[in-house]
């Protein structure tokens, strides 16, 4: 099936961007259906690429292949998935982990497909109708290449609605995973609930950042805000923090944190879990005069898109301003933004505003990004989303 673009709209494809917007299409020879493979041609009829189609999504085509003679068949899918696995071959060893993102969608040349490993199980997310259609084939390929005990589908990501896909969680192949899977990472252990946890169960993208931030925590009083199941907290305790306070609004996340403390043989005395709204509790700490040496701020996405940017930047500023006021002199603020809509420059600006209003001098001492199994594909800037700044505040 052939699809012709309006004049000039071929540019982004020639630069290997994997999306074609609906309004770039001039005409179609037939009426392709959801998930059909189409050939994309420029206005003059020159071949550009092949991809899968969606009739009503704003992103009408996601490009899979730039070479005309190659067919998008089961061999193609097996090869592309195999290559994504191959690229991660030494990561388990380097990060002492059995939990990795195996496939990171567009950034791994497999638009709409997410595959995460949690020990002997895989978790799959089909974010588009194109992937929904090949889900059985993809599961079969993963079973044969990775030999997991089972593959569990997390079909509850918001973006599925944009493609007209229902919420759908359940086992796709092999065994049903247990409610708690124990994973290890850089010598630490974590229990993960892949069925109900956030995202696919764990924030794998912060793996390296947890290790880096823990380097500042030995002997220190640490506050871990938006702690989820205690990623940064467990690392800090293991690194010999004097005390750690972990704040999250989710009771179930904190229950997992408590279990994670146990399986890492950490003592109760130096740690406290607090179920609260982070904005509120930071104000309370400010009013009480509480102080910390290291504060981690790792909030959920405030700006999923560019449109929500202004409001989000204000929220980032507020939370970082509050955190800065709670730091002892020369304290460390490790602050993150996982908003795709905000750039590193935006985020630096926010930290600048917060410093100014808090009347603090701020030095950025480390600039952090997403873990290596979440690559940034340069032709697809949308794949860069996680930004972190380790700052010294005086």
Helix axes 207-214, 231-238, angle to 10 degrees: 40
Q: How far is CA 207 from CA 42, 177, 203, in A?
A: 42, 23, 8
- Asked if 227 is an active-site residue, the reply is no
Region of 91-99, 243-251, 355-363, 368-376 interacting with ligand SAH (CB under 6 A):
243-251
CB atoms within 10 A of CB 93: 8
Residue 277 in contact with ligand SAH, rule: CB under 6 A: yes
DSSP, collapsed to helix, strand or coil, labels residue 221 as strand
Residue 235 in contact with ligand SAH, rule: CB under 6 A: no
- State in angstroms the smallest separation of the CB of 377 from ligand SAH: 23
Residue 231 in contact with ligand SAH, rule: CB under 6 A: yes
Q: 78 or 91, CB closer to ligand SAH?
A: 91
Q: Which of 146, 225, 227, 338 is catalytic?
A: 338
User: Residues 6 or more apart from 315 whose CB is under 8 A from it?
Assistant: 299, 302
Q: Give the footprint of ligand SAH on residues 284-343 (CB under 6 A).
A: 298-300
- State in angstroms the smallest separation of the CB of 298 from ligand SAH: 4
Nearest-5° angle of CA 174, CA 179, CA 184? 90
- State in angstroms the smallest separation of the CB of 366 from ligand SAH: 16
Query: What region does 114 belong to: left with phi over 0, alpha with psi -120 to 50, or beta?
Result: beta
- State in angstroms the smallest separation of the CB of 252 from ligand SAH: 9
Q: 54 or 195, CB closer to ligand SAH?
A: 195
Region of 87-95, 111-119, 273-281, 348-356 interacting with ligand SAH (CB under 6 A):
273-281
Residue 185 in contact with ligand SAH, rule: CB under 6 A: no
Q: What are the beta bridge partners of residue 244?
A: 222, 271
Smallest CA-to-CA distance from 116 within 176, 193, 202, 186 is with: 202
Q: 187 or 300, CB closer to ligand SAH?
A: 300
- Residue 253-272 contact track with ligand SAH, rule CB under 6 A, x = bound: x-------------------
Residue 205 in contact with ligand SAH, rule: CB under 6 A: no
| Cα–Cα distance measured from residue 213 to residue 196, given in angstroms and rounded to the nearest whole number | 27
Among 53, 102, 109, 232, binds ligand SAH (CB under 6 A): 232
Q: Are 103 and 126 in contact (CB under 8 A)?
A: no
Residue 206 in contact with ligand SAH, rule: CB under 6 A: yes
What DSSP designation does 119 have?
Answer: T
Nearest-5° angle of CA 264, CA 265, CA 270? 100
Residue 186 in contact with ligand SAH, rule: CB under 6 A: no
Beta strands in the chain (DSSP E): 2-5, 19-21, 25-28, 37-41, 47-53, 59-65, 99-104, 113-118, 121-126, 150-155, 168-174, 181-185, 188-192, 221-225, 243-248, 271-275, 292-297, 327-337, 362-368, 387-393
- State in angstroms the smallest separation of the CB of 84 from ligand SAH: 23
- State in angstroms the smallest separation of the CB of 120 from ligand SAH: 21
Residues that bind ligand SAH (CB under 6 A): 198, 203, 206, 210, 226-229, 231-232, 247-250, 253, 277-279, 298-300
Catalytic center residues: 338
């Amino acid at each position: 099936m052939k699809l012709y673009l309006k004049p000039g709209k071929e540019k982004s494809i020639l630069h290997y961007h994997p999306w074609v917007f609906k309004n770039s299409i001039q005409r179609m020879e037939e009426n392709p259906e959801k998930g059909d493979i189409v050939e994309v041609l420029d206005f003059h009829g020159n071949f550009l690429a092949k991809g899968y189609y969606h009739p009503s999504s704003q992103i009408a085509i996601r490009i899979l292949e730039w070479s005309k003679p190659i067919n998008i068949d089961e061999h193609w899918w097996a090869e592309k998935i195999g290559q994504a696995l191959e690229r991660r071959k030494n990561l388990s060893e380097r990060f002492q982990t059995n939990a990795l993102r195996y496939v990171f969608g567009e950034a791994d040349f497999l638009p709409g497909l997410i595959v995460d490993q949690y020990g002997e199980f895989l978790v799959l997310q089909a974010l588009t109708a194109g992937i929904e259609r090949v889900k059985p084939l993809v599961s079969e390929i993963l079973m044969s290449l990775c030999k997991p005990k089972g593959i569990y589908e997390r079909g509850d990501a918001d973006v599925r609605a944009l493609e007209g896909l229902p919420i759908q969680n359940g086992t796709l192949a092999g065994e049903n995973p247990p409610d708690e899977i124990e994973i290890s990472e850089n010598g630490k252990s974590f229990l993960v609930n892949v069925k109900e946890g956030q995202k696919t169960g764990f924030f794998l993208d912060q793996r390296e950042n947890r290790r880096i931030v823990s380097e500042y925590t030995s002997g220190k009083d640490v506050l871990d805000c938006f702690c989820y199941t205690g990623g940064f907290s467990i690392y800090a305790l293991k690194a010999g923090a004097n005390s750690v306070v972990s704040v999250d609004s989710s009771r179930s996340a904190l229950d997992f944190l408590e279990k994670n403390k146990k399986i890492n043989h950490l003592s109760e005395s130096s740690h406290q879990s607090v179920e609260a709204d982070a904005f509120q509790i930071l104000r309370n700490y400010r009013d009480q005069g509480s102080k910390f040496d290291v504060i981690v701020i790792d909030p959920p996405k405030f700006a999923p898109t560019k449109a929500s940017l202004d409001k989000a930047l204000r929220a980032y500023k507020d939370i970082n301003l509050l955190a800065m006021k709670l730091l002892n002199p020369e304290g460390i603020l490790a602050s993150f933004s996982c908003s795709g809509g905000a750039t590193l420059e935006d985020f630096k600006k926010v930290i600048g505003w917060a410093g100014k209003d808090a009347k603090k001098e701020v030095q950025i001492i480390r600039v952090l990004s997403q873990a290596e199994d979440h690559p940034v594909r340069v032709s697809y800037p949308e794949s860069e989303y996680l930004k972190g700044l380790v700052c010294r505040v005086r």
